[in-house]
Structure 1
């Protein structure tokens, strides 16, 4: 093996020499399935937006393996973000050569854990991993990546039946509390910390930063990095200003129903281009379009979408005046929480609107409305009408209104409406 490459690998694998390495604040306990997947032969994919903690989780997995008695040399870590490896990324045999060389140097290994960070930078990763999986049963592959188009489309076609995937999001509110050592907070403390979560979001580095001005600068840097490295560069977008204008429009209207044709007219961009750019941003895990529920898939696709973002801190850093948009930020947080747990989410709109419907199989099983407060009579009537209409449309006996701090139990014509403070709702979800 080339000496420079060997030196790079040795610097990336300090456990080969019994050296300590940074594993960050413990988060692995929030991903119990990961340890289960480690004992299975299938490839494990950790995917998600940049800076959500995928690499840290990978280091925590490595630490856990070492704690279980796995020899250091049985863990081969490769980060494709490393300049030398990036310069060699066009070589389709690179990873195979590294693995073969490592196995030849250590012939007594019963199993090799091959960990590749930011695998999307290696164009030949799919056929390489497929070949390793098919021909070397003793090699367990654990990969991270920040681009869903690579890790979902290609993998589903060529790695079908050979992988498990786990999406890593910014910290949930319970994780946000845990990572700062906040255990058993009072109701007042919990709501105080939720205000911080609402404003700055859950990116781990931002959560741990004490300087509030620096928090916002970090968030702006994250946004620009995702915009450039995961949207502009990989998709070879020529008209950067169109993407800039579109993303700013979407982030300024987070939670609002928008038509792609309407956006196209507003920004003077072709509708197909709008759709394409939104797909790029979705592939980068920056945003998530939410469809209006309809039993006709064709109508679902044609109806306006509500756009939500991966983290409320990004919204505040880029577009929102925090104090003026709390309701939409609450809605964004509820959406991410529901999507993480249930996956199949829609919104309801007929005469009135309900923010979220949760589907299980072919059946709507939950209706959730989100609002800052129900103290204003007009707001209360509007939110209740939308929730009850959605419940009636899908035969639900109960529904939920998530608020900033209010709680109540209400019965309307035999149907139960639970009003729940968002901090408590997030912990109980």
Structure 2
């Protein structure tokens, strides 16, 4: 098994009494992480329950806590000594937080749990377990993890991290990065043997998300409207969300449309970037931009340009490094990304000296201390003053 970057933080939390909460989109590896953590427990008094199985949901849905305790004991858990219980996809059992709280307070059980909805875990779950939990967010593989899953040497990859373009480095890793852009970072997809299998896995991820997460986490009916909205969003990657136009095209009122978009974001299907303001500008765009959680998933849904795919990938890569925003005046002046309120980043498939001059000038005009270009391809001109996409992690 290839270990994820997040595993070290999760393992460090094993020694704390707090509930360890792993959240993220379906199929990013949360269940594998649970089993990995269980393998690190120095005793055998452990129990794993998958709430996608109806018998496990029934156990935790009983009205009597005593009956739940008896059920756990019947499954082999001893309540008389230190115990660890792993619960997978807890959002499927709405009353699970209260059960966890009771067992946590009564027996001191260490809980490891996963869930696919940030809204549920950060709000409903937080109410019951305030001060008793720590949340860890898991995403699809970053590029370094992708290379590790492909048995590449990540020690060499690290030497070029966030460094200016260098042809030998680019030449060594460009094939991996193009595959990463095409098929994304879901572990099952990365490990699949051929392109047909990768495509099938991505379709399965999409169908499972809509049929399970949307059905179980909302009161929305799974209809052609939702599919139509997701397809329209894919063609608008990197663009500001025009709620009025989308409402008209999809046939939803504005409030219902926002509810759909919130659900997609809460369940990690999309992410949004908000406008950056320096405090000096009066005519900034107020609308967020949207990106999909995974470029493979994005391309499974719709036909998008290479530039959109690359910008979406950079948005996801930067999100792991800090707070990501964008800058755009109503006059048209824009910067693709502003990282941590201090670095301006312009994304171009093929970078030019003019692009660098432009982003530098725009960054200076709003008092940003740093600026650079993110590029995908080697420029024919020999220009090298940019950061190659594969080195951003």
TM-score, with normalisation over the residues of structure 2? 0.86
Tell me how far apart the structure 2 counterparts of residues 144 and 203 of structure 1 sit (CA, whole Å): 17
Alpha carbons 1:89, 1:121 under 8 Å: kept: no
1:55 aligns with 2:35: no
Alignment of 1:75-114 (within 5 A): 75-88=46-59, 90-93=61-64, 96-97=68-69, 101=73, 106=78, 109=81, 111-114=82-85
Deviates more, 1:182-191 or 1:193-202: 182-191
Tell me how far apart the structure 2 counterparts of residues 238 and 153 of structure 1 sit (CA, whole Å): 23
1:166 aligns with 2:166: no
Tell me how far apart the structure 1 counterparts of residues 152 and 230 of structure 2 sit (CA, whole Å): 35
Tell me how far apart the structure 1 counterparts of residues 140 and 3 of structure 2 sit (CA, whole Å): 11
Q: In the alignment, which residue of structure 2 is the partner of 1:423?
A: 390
Tell me how far apart the structure 2 counterparts of residues 135 and 331 of structure 1 sit (CA, whole Å): 50
The offset of 1:131, in angstroms, is 2.1
1:157 aligns with 2:137: no
- Of structures 1 and 2, the one scoring higher in RCO (CA 8 A, sep 6+) is 2
Tell me how far apart the structure 1 counterparts of residues 118 and 295 of structure 2 sit (CA, whole Å): 21
Alpha carbons 2:5, 2:145 under 8 Å: kept: no
Deviates more, 1:158-167 or 1:271-280: 158-167
Residues 57-92 of structure 1: CA distance to partner in whole angstroms, max 9, x if unpaired?
Answer: 111111122xxxx222x2111111123224555324
> Would the alpha carbon gap of residues 187 and 149 (structure 1) be closer, same or farther in structure 2, given more than 3 Å must change?
same
| Count, aligned residues | 374
The offset of 1:105, in angstroms, is 6.4
Residues 218-251 of structure 1: CA distance to partner in whole angstroms, max 9, x if unpaired?
Answer: 1112112112211244312137222111111001
The offset of 1:383, in angstroms, is 6.6
Alpha carbons 2:23, 2:117 under 8 Å: kept: yes
Residues 116-164 of structure 1: CA distance to partner in whole angstroms, max 9, x if unpaired?
Answer: 1111111211111222233333x11110111222111112322222111
Residues 277-312 of structure 1: CA distance to partner in whole angstroms, max 9, x if unpaired?
Answer: 00111121100121112378xx99982221111100
Tell me how far apart the structure 2 counterparts of residues 284 and 105 of structure 1 sit (CA, whole Å): 32
1:348 aligns with 2:327: yes
Q: In the alignment, which residue of structure 2 is the partner of 1:140?
A: 110
Deviates more, 1:190-199 or 1:286-295: 286-295
User: Which residue among 213, 223, 230 is the counterpart of 2:213?
Assistant: 230
Q: In the alignment, which residue of structure 2 is the partner of 1:278?
A: 261
> Would the alpha carbon gap of residues 300 and 37 (structure 1) be closer, same or farther in structure 2, given more than 3 Å must change?
farther
Tell me how far apart the structure 1 counterparts of residues 144 and 365 of structure 2 sit (CA, whole Å): 33
> Would the alpha carbon gap of residues 384 and 307 (structure 1) be closer, same or farther in structure 2, given more than 3 Å must change?
farther
The offset of 1:276, in angstroms, is 0.5
> Would the alpha carbon gap of residues 291 and 281 (structure 1) be closer, same or farther in structure 2, given more than 3 Å must change?
same
SS at match of 2:22: strand
Deviates more, 1:76-85 or 1:177-186: 177-186
> Would the alpha carbon gap of residues 30 and 101 (structure 1) be closer, same or farther in structure 2, given more than 3 Å must change?
closer
> Would the alpha carbon gap of residues 300 and 274 (structure 1) be closer, same or farther in structure 2, given more than 3 Å must change?
farther
SS at match of 2:131: coil
Tell me how far apart the structure 2 counterparts of residues 89 and 242 of structure 1 sit (CA, whole Å): 34
1:128 aligns with 2:99: yes
User: Which residue among 389, 400, 416 is the counterpart of 2:362?
Assistant: 389
The offset of 1:326, in angstroms, is 1.9
> Would the alpha carbon gap of residues 29 and 245 (structure 1) be closer, same or farther in structure 2, given more than 3 Å must change?
closer
CA RMSD of superposed structures (Å) = 2.8
User: Which residue among 297, 309, 315 is the counterpart of 2:292?
Assistant: 309
> Would the alpha carbon gap of residues 353 and 92 (structure 1) be closer, same or farther in structure 2, given more than 3 Å must change?
farther
1:40 aligns with 2:16: yes
Alpha carbons 2:345, 2:359 under 8 Å: kept: no
Tell me how far apart the structure 1 counterparts of residues 147 and 27 of structure 2 sit (CA, whole Å): 18
